[in-house]
Structures are given as C-alpha cells and as structure tokens.
C-alpha cells in the first residue's frame, strides 16, 4: 500500500507537549530541519510517540504553501 | 512580521508543472529532501517561481500527520 | 506502523476524473456512502488507482467539520 | 443553499471530549463507521453537540487522502 | 442547523476560472476585501456559481494562519 | 518575498483564548467582519499577539469552501 500524500519524510521525535485534546510533536527530518505537527493527544498515545522514537512526517501537497 | 505557521523550510525549486487552475511545485529543502506543494497557477506566476529559484516551504502544524 | 490520522475508512474506487495536476477520486466506504478526494494526478498514477480497485480514505481529524 | 464541500455524511454523535480550546467529536456515519472531528470547543457548545444527537460530518475533497 | 466552521462570511462572486478538476472562485466579502477559494469544478457547477451571484465563504478556524 | 497563499487580510486582534497546546485568536478584518484562527499557543507567544495588536489573517485558497 502507498499513500497519496506526496510528502513523507523520515525523522525522529525531538519534543512532545500534550494537552487535553491536542498535542504538539516536533520531528527532526534532516540535520537541523525540524517539523512541528499538531495532532490529537489520542494519536500520540495510540502511536506510542516519545522523544527519540522514529516517526515519519506526512503532509498532503494541497496543505503546502510557498514564499518566494 | 512573523508567521504563526510553525514550519518554514528554506529551499530551491526543483520541478514545476502548471495546470489551468492548480500547479505542482517541488522544492528541495535539504539535500535529497523534496517537498511537493499544490498551489494555484496564479500564485506560481505572481511569485515568479521557476526551477532553480529560492523558495520557502510553509506548512501549518495542524496539517502535519505522523506515522510511527 | 500506524498513522496519526484518526479517520481511515476502507472502500472501493467508484469514479475517477484526471486533470493536468489534480484528480478527483470517488470511493465507496459503506453501502451508498461515497467520499470524494481531490489528490494530485501524479498520486493517482503512482498508486495505480482505477475504478473497482480497493482504496482506503484517510482524513485528519482537524479537517473534519460538523453541522448540527 | 448548498455547500461546495463534496463530503456531507449524516450521523449521530457517539463520543465527545472537550479541552480548553479544542474538542474531539466522534460521529457514527454508517453502522460501525466512525469519523472523528477536531473542532473548537466553542463550536461544540454553540451547536449544542451531545452524545446521541444527530450531526452531519463535512469534509472538503482537498482534505481527503488515499491509501492503495 | 449550524456549521462548526467558525468563519462564514457573506459575499458576492466577482470572478470565476474553471479548470478540468479544480476551479478558482473570487468572492468579495466586504468592500474591497476579496477571498479566493479553490474548489472542485463539479461544486461550481452543482452550486450554479456565476459572477454576481451571492455566496458565503466558509473557513475552518484550524485553516487560518496569522502574521504579526 | 510574497506568499502563495491567496488570502491575506489585514486586521486587528479582538479576542484571544489560550489553551495548553492550541489557542483561538479572533481578528477583525473589516468593520464587523471577524475571522477566528486556531493556531498553536506557542505561535501566539512567539508572535506576541495581544488584543488590539495588528495582525494579518492568511488563508490558503484550497482551505476555503463556498455556500450558495
């Protein structure tokens, strides 16, 4: 199986902050390149995310903007 | 001024495909790390995007998913 | 591996329309329940999507609205 | 009036979790098919959402991904 | 019925460009304040959108960014 | 530099509610026209947002729906 999402970047969890419903997860996808995800706290727990764990970042192309 | 979007990655345009309304822009944000954006063709023209040009990729944290 | 996206619905492709950059894919996720996805034409081709093929629909919870 | 959003699924609220700013609402849109929405807690209160209440799930096609 | 989407702005269609799958619709929501929507061409036709017609613009709060 | 996002509306912060991870910011973009943004609380603090402060609202066209 493959995802239609065009952006799948391998990385490692660097930071994690959990609220009641939403959580913020920081993933390093290349040396010094950090990506922050806001996902539900339920997902953080279901996926067993923790600092140091491997995680892929997935982003649909229609959610990406450009600045030039 | 600063953007609330948590993810701003500097890069260079590697590929560009323009349709009538939407366009697809591929940006290299780190060596071998490509991000694809689907933006309006109007924006590609307004920003003067072209292969080889510098461009920042911007992604709101609520649009980022994780796989782990 | 598991996705943070909270909504993963199994289905079958019922209809497909491809434009230059974007494509529209209709998936039946339960009897009579259709979900339409707008993804890049590149993804439709990369995934080999075709009418009758199995496909999962994936939706991040932050993209879902309610009417009540 | 009609919405441009291509996906409007009728359902019933099955679960509800409210945080300070964001809330998580689970809606059953077909027997055994659940959809989770992350909306503001303000909207949950303004719409009077509660377990057992009818609610439509609305999703823009550009927010739908596929896995195949 | 009421929508969970926090932003519903009344306006009038000022411009319309239709591609094969996606269309771009410009709506004036206050004097001189234009909002551009990228929706499917199917929706433009289903809603009978045309220049001069009334249309509400709807935006989920999680899709809004800030610059300050 | 210019953003690909098609909608950039100047305004002033009218209200602010901060949760643990997510915050809700209300911006007046024209007389009586309010736009609500759900951004991370980290961004509200990083941008120094406060009631009365100028702020631009930014919305990607693919996130805008229509009702007509």
Count structural domains, chain C: 1
Please check whether residue C68 lies inside any domain of the structure: no
Contacts of C16 (CB under 8 A, 6+ apart): C23, C24, C25, C26, C44, C49, C50, C51
Contacts of B32 (CB under 8 A, 6+ apart): none
Select from C4, C59, A22 the least CA-distant residue to D5: C59
Please check whether residue E26 lies inside any domain of the structure: yes
Predicted confidence at residue C37, as pLDDT, reads 98
CB contact under 8 A, B66 and C42: no
For residue E24, give both structure tokens.
């771009």
HSE (side-chain half, CA atoms, 13 Å) at E13: 21
Instruction: State the residue range of the domain holding B56.
Output: 7-62
Please check whether residue E1 lies inside any domain of the structure: no
The model's pTM is: 0.97
Residues of chain C positioned with their CB less than 8 A from the CB of A47: 2, 4
Percent of all residues in chain B with a pLDDT value above 70, rounded to a whole number: 100
CB contact under 8 A, B39 and A68: no
CB contact under 8 A, D61 and C68: no
Which chains sit next to C, with 3 or more Cβ pairs under 8 A? A, B, D, E
pLDDT, averaged across chain F: 97
Find, in chain C, the residue whose alpha carbon is nearest to that of B40: C21
Select from C60, C18, C58 the least CA-distant residue to C40: C18
SS3 D47: coil
Q: How would you classify residue A48: left for phi > 0, otherwise alpha for psi between -120 and 50, otherwise beta? A: left
Please check whether residue D67 lies inside any domain of the structure: no
Select from D28, F36, D45, D46 the least CA-distant residue to D37: D28
Please check whether residue A21 lies inside any domain of the structure: yes
Please check whether residue D52 lies inside any domain of the structure: yes
Predicted confidence at residue F1, as pLDDT, reads 82
Residue E21: which CATH number? Answer: 2.40.50.100
Give A10-67 pLDDT, tens digit per residue: 999 999 999 999 999 999 999 999 999 999 999 999 999 999 999 999 999 999 999 9
Please check whether residue F1 lies inside any domain of the structure: no
Please check whether residue A67 lies inside any domain of the structure: no
Closest by Cβ to B19, choosing from C3, C4, C19: C19
Tens place of pLDDT per residue across chain C (68 aa): 899 999 999 999 999 999 999 999 999 999 999 999 999 999 999 999 999 999 999 999 999 999 99
Cβ–Cβ under 8 Å, residues D59 and E26: no
Predicted confidence at residue C1, as pLDDT, reads 82
Which residues from C are below 8 Å from B when comparing CB atoms?
A: 1-5, 19-22, 40, 42, 60, 62
pLDDT > 90? residue B1: no
Find, in chain D, the residue whose alpha carbon is nearest to that of F39: D21
Give D28-40 pLDDT, tens digit per residue: 999 999 999 999 9
Burial tier of C33 (Cβ tally within 10 Å: 0-12, 13-18, 19+): middle
CB contact under 8 A, E64 and F8: no
Give F48-60 pLDDT, tens digit per residue: 999 999 999 999 9
Q: What would the mean pLDDT of E4-23 be, rounded to a whole number?
A: 97
Select from E5, E9, E4 the least CA-distant residue to E34: E9
Which chains sit next to F, with 3 or more Cβ pairs under 8 A? A, B, D, E
């Amino acid at each position: 199986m493959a995802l239609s999402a065009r952006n799948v970047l391998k990385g490692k969890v660097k930071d994690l902050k959990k609220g009641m419903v939403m959580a913020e997860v920081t993933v390093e996808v290349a040396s010094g390149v950090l990506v922050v995800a806001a996902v539900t706290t339920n997902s953080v727990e279901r996926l067993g995310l923790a600092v140091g764990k491997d995680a892929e970042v997935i982003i649909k192309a229609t959610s990406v903007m450009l600045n030039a």
